[in-house]
Amino acid sequence: MTPPFVYDDENGIRLSIARSGDSAVISLHETRDSWNVMGERTGSRACVVLPEHRREVAAALWTVTAEPAPVILERAMPNTAGTHGVDAFKVWLNRDRRSVNLSLGNSSAALKPAVARHLAAVLAAYADAAEAMDEPDPADVEALTEAISAGMAHCGGGPEGVYRVAATVALRWMKRRESSCG
């Protein structure tokens, strides 16, 4: 079984998601005794996932099953009475409201809903890949972490995790600076 994804809610309930063979194994257990305001043991078996953690928990379900993760985007509300512009692109519902029009300049295309969703997923995948290019090479992070650690040894050292964060931030800054300088 793979190491589980673990989420602890505010009531002391732990949600664990792991992979076993082709299956996702989801379990709940109490990490501490749960009591209500009357001082009675609740025996709660429900995990309350806070709104800010829902995507993380949903993504864990996909990750443990080795399925490609779904693309989760903020939902934009369509302007059913007109056009929605995003940079040079324009998007609107076709008159029949059964297809989506997409235009760039003088070119436009009517897309069936499934094609429009697929295009959105492809765009998101390429956007993710473009953002990933901004991440420093892990070998560079490790080398700079060692250099920072060695340089700080005479100061009494410190937690290595801090050095790794500092190295990552420094390399991101250098990469952005290089790209902006041409």
Helix (H, G, I), strand (E, B) or coil at 169: helix
Beta strand 13-20 with 5-8: parallel, antiparallel or unpaired? antiparallel
Output the pLDDT for position 10.
Answer: 80
Q: Is the pTM of this model over 0.75?
A: no
Q: What share of the chain is helix, strand, coil (3-state, %, to 5)?
A: 40, 20, 35
Helical packing angle, 160-181 and 138-152, nearest 10°: 120
- Of the candidates 107, 60, 98, 100, the one whose C-alpha atom is nearest the C-alpha of residue 76 is 100
What are the start-end ranges of the H helices in 10-159?
54-64, 113-132, 138-152
Find the range with the poorest average confidence among 92-101, 117-126, 168-177: 168-177
Helices (runs of H) and strands (runs of E) counted in the chain: 4, 7
Instruction: Report pLDDT digits (tens) over 61-90.
Output: 777 777 776 777 778 887 777 888 888 889
CA gap 148, 145 in Å, rounded? 5
Output the pLDDT for position 42.
Answer: 57
Instruction: Report pLDDT digits (tens) over 110-137.
Output: 999 999 999 998 998 888 888 777 777 7
Helix (H, G, I), strand (E, B) or coil at 115: helix
| Strand-pair partners of 88 | none
Instruction: Report pLDDT digits (tens) over 28-43.
Output: 777 665 555 555 555 5
Look-up of token digits 């989801």: 26
